[in-house]
Amino acid sequence: MLVKPSYFPDFHVAEDRGRVRHKFSRRVSLCQTWPVTPAPARSAQQRKTDTLARLENEVDAWVATADPATGLPYLVPLSFLWEGGSLYFSTAASNPTARNLEATGQARIGVGLTRDVVLIEGAVQVLASSEISLELGDAFAAKTGFDPRTLRARYLYFRVTPVSIQAWREVNELAERNIMLAGQWAV
């Protein structure tokens, strides 16, 4: 929880040829921080409950992959569906993310804010549109707001089954951040 003043006493708004400029006086640094009071640490069971709720309700995640030949990392936001203990993503088959997922069979996924994050490492199964059931395709489209089955470009689906899941808010939860290891819930 970030605690900060509700006003900026040294903050000024100026009009410059029809554009609005925001300016801090020299006494206030743009990088000024305010005291942070962390929330009490959650139990591992509560972090699991919060993680499952986040996976059910969030729409977007950051998906990290790596080029198998060069090791070059690639990070992209993708919408997802959480269904049956797996995350489902879809992207154009020609995208670097799709190529990397096909080649390595691995992904690292971040869901949430930096001060309330869920990190997932998972095994990837590549699925053609024809391999997705009508119900799963409809659920994906309803949750994410787009239906890859209707696009002209060739899209693939990716089923990511978590192998490990970490969840934490602040440093007081780091010691017990692992809530899934080797594909099994630790709590």
- Please work out, in degrees rounded to the nearest 5, the angle formed at the alpha carbon of residue 76 by the alpha carbons of 148 and 100: 80
Mean pLDDT of 152-169: 97
User: What would the two tokens of residue 134 be?
Assistant: 């009508």
- Give the pLDDT band (50/70/90) at residue 37: confident
3-state secondary structure of 101: helix
Residue-range domain boundaries for the chain: 44-185
- Give the pLDDT band (50/70/90) at residue 8: very low
pLDDT computed for residue 171 by the predictor: 92
* pLDDT surpasses 50 at 105: yes
* pLDDT surpasses 60 at 22: no
Residues contacting 104, CB < 8 A, separation 6+: 65, 66, 68, 124
- HSE of 155, CA atoms in CB hemisphere, 13 A: 16
- Phi, psi of 3, rounded to the nearest 5 degrees: -110, 120
Q: Does domain 44-185 have CATH number 2.30.110.10?
A: yes
* pLDDT surpasses 60 at 24: no
pLDDT computed for residue 35 by the predictor: 60
DSSP string covering 137-163: HHHHHHHHS--GGG-SS-EEEEEEEEE
- Give the pLDDT band (50/70/90) at residue 38: confident
Mean pLDDT of 129-137: 96
Mean pLDDT of 160-172: 96
pLDDT computed for residue 25 by the predictor: 45
- Per-residue pLDDT reduced to its tens digit, 58-102: 999 999 999 999 999 999 999 999 999 999 999 999 999 999 999
Residues contacting 51, CB < 8 A, separation 6+: 118, 165, 167, 179
